[in-house]
Amino acid sequence: MDLLTLLSLTFATFVYAISPGPGLFAVLAISTRHGPIPAMWLSFGHTIGDIIYVAIAMLALNALAGLISDSMLYVKIFGASYLIFIGYQQYRSKGISFEQSNKKSSTLKLLIAGFVVGVTNPKTIIFYLSFLPIFVDLNHLTTLTVIKVIAVIGVTVFCVLSLANILGIRLRRHIENPVFIKRINEVTGITMILVGIFVGLY
C-alpha cells in the first residue's frame, strides 16, 4: 500500500468524518456542555467504534472477495446510491440545537457513549464497505495493510472529532443559527453526493 493510496484514503475518510452526523454533533454537544476533556473521551470511544467497523469490513470483504467478485459492481452501485441518498438527506437537514448542562459524566460513560454513537450509525459500515475495495486489494490483504488502514482511519477520525471538540465552544453561537446550519448541511450534503458519484464511477 503506497503513500499516495494512504493519502487518498486519508482524504476520503476526512470527507466522511467531517460531514455532520451523530458523532460530530455528540462531540460538539459534550464540548459545549462539559468542556474539551470529556469530549475527548467521547471522541476516543467513537474512534474505537470506527476502527472495529474497519476491521470487520476488511475481514468480511477479504473472506467474501472470491464469492462476490462477479457482483462487486452491484455492491459499488448500492454503496454509491446510499452515499448519494444520505448526502441528499444531509442537504435537506435542518440540523440540531443543544441545551447547556453542568452535569458531569464519568470517563467510562463517555467512552461507552462515543462507542455506541459510532457503532449504531448505519452510514459508517456502508461507507467503509463501499470505499475500502477502492483502496485495498482484497485478494492480497496482509497484516501490515490492515494495520496501516486502521491507523490512517483511526487517526483521521479522531483528529476530525478533536477539531469539532476544539471549535465546539467557539461555534456555539453559530450552531444555533438556522442560516448557518442550512449552509453547512448544503455543503456537506453536496460533498457526500459527489463522494457517492465518485464511488459509482471509480
Query: Over the stretch 4-49, which tens digit does the pLDDT of each residue have?
Result: 888 888 888 888 888 777 778 788 777 776 778 888 998 999 999 8
**d(C-alpha 65, C-alpha 137), whole Å:** 10
The domain ranges of the chain are 3-201
- For the chain, the average pLDDT equals 75
pTM: predicted TM-score of the whole model, two decimal places: 0.66
DSSP states along 87-154: HHHHHH--------------HHHHHHHHHHHHHT-HHHHHHHHHHHHHHS-GGG--HHHHHHHHHHHH
Query: What are the tens digits of pLDDT across the range 39-83?
Result: 899 899 999 988 888 887 777 766 655 555 555 566 667 767 766
Rg (alpha carbons) of the chain, rounded to whole number: 17
**d(C-alpha 121, C-alpha 129), whole Å:** 14
**d(C-alpha 106, C-alpha 151), whole Å:** 27
